[in-house]
Amino acid sequence: MTSPVVELADDRAARRGLRLFLKRDDLIHPELPGNKWRKLKHNLEPARAHGTLLTFGGAYSNHIRATAAAGKLFGFATIGVIRGEEHLPLNDSLTYAERMGMRLAYMDRTTYRRKHEPDVVDALRDQWGDFYLLPEGGSNALAVQGCAELGAEVPGFDVICCPCGTGGTLAGLAAGLAPHQRALGFSVLKGNFMDGEVERLQRETYGERRGDWRVEGGFHFGGYAKRTPELDAFIDDFADRHGIVLDPIYTAKMMFGIFALADRGAFPNGTQILAIITG
């Protein structure tokens, strides 16, 4: 599955001599949009082979929703380990996951920070039996391979941008680009660890760092799922200009960052920029 590319007519880019395009990965699939599909695509077969997939996420995680939907669509059981305590009634995301057949478990935040350590995983296997383990956010070597396929879909662009939560999309995207292209990721989390995560995923997948890429860490607006009146005003203005509602967790922060960098003169005149709306 591929997604359409549309040019965005916006004076904030035009006055800097830039052309800005959106790749509407959010339109790939109604239940498995954007990078969720790309990350899950190559993980489906091992999940089916095991019969059960276990993964992690917060109470509002789109990854949890998409994984639950994938299990329903492709015929394997799913378990979602949710950070924190259970709160009833369930929110819309977890209600949807349960409706798709996902079994939900809850893990205290202290243990959750150690979720991939062997003793925690062993305890989960004692509780749930055998399963295929998919990391939080779905970012593993197979996910990177799926995201690398983006490279073949974006010829002709100079800079390709994506938001970064776990680093898998940027790791794959950068690896799949042509030598003259570069990838720019916008971290939605506080801290300076995203570069290391992207490189770790590339080395896990390919044995080396690949592609021309960097992470921009200045547009997280306070951290994951944090927002400010400035970001909310940007989202409203973007919707008025273009009829597209950006999500405040990922794509709004990326688009805000692109315009801010353009205003600072970060992109040479004539640059063609593609922003991936990851869904």
> Residue 214 is encoded by which pair of tokens?
């960097």
CATH topology match: 5-30+140-276 vs 44-133: yes
141 three-state secondary structure: helix
The answer to whether residue 167 scores a pLDDT higher than 90 is yes
The answer to whether residue 235 scores a pLDDT higher than 90 is yes
Using alpha carbons only, what angle is made at residue 94 by residues 255 and 29, rounded to the nearest 5 degrees? 50
Q: What is the pLDDT of residues 19-38, one digit of tens each?
A: 999 999 999 988 888 789 99
pLDDT value of position 71: 98
The answer to whether residue 181 scores a pLDDT higher than 90 is yes
Q: What is the pLDDT of residues 41-79, one digit of tens each?
A: 999 999 999 999 999 999 988 899 999 999 999 999 999
Considering just the CA atoms, what is the radius of gyration of the chain in Å? 19
Q: What is the pLDDT of residues 92-147, one digit of tens each?
A: 999 999 999 999 999 999 999 999 999 999 999 999 999 999 999 999 999 999 99
Work out the pLDDT band at 244, boundaries 50, 70, 90.
Answer: very high
Domain boundaries in the chain? 5-30+140-276, 44-133
Give the fold, CATH level 3, of 5-30+140-276: Rossmann fold (3.40.50)
C-beta neighbour count of 33 within 10 angstroms: 22
> Residue 19 is encoded by which pair of tokens?
């052309």
Average pLDDT score over residue span 175-194 = 95
Report yes or no: 95 and 59 within 8 Å, Cβ to Cβ.
no
> Residue 183 is encoded by which pair of tokens?
């990838």
The answer to whether residue 1 scores a pLDDT higher than 80 is no
Instruction: Please state the pTM of the whole predicted model.
Output: 0.92
Q: What is the CATH architecture of 44-133?
A: 3-Layer(aba) Sandwich (3.40)
pLDDT value of position 2: 83
Strand-pair partners of 54: 79, 133
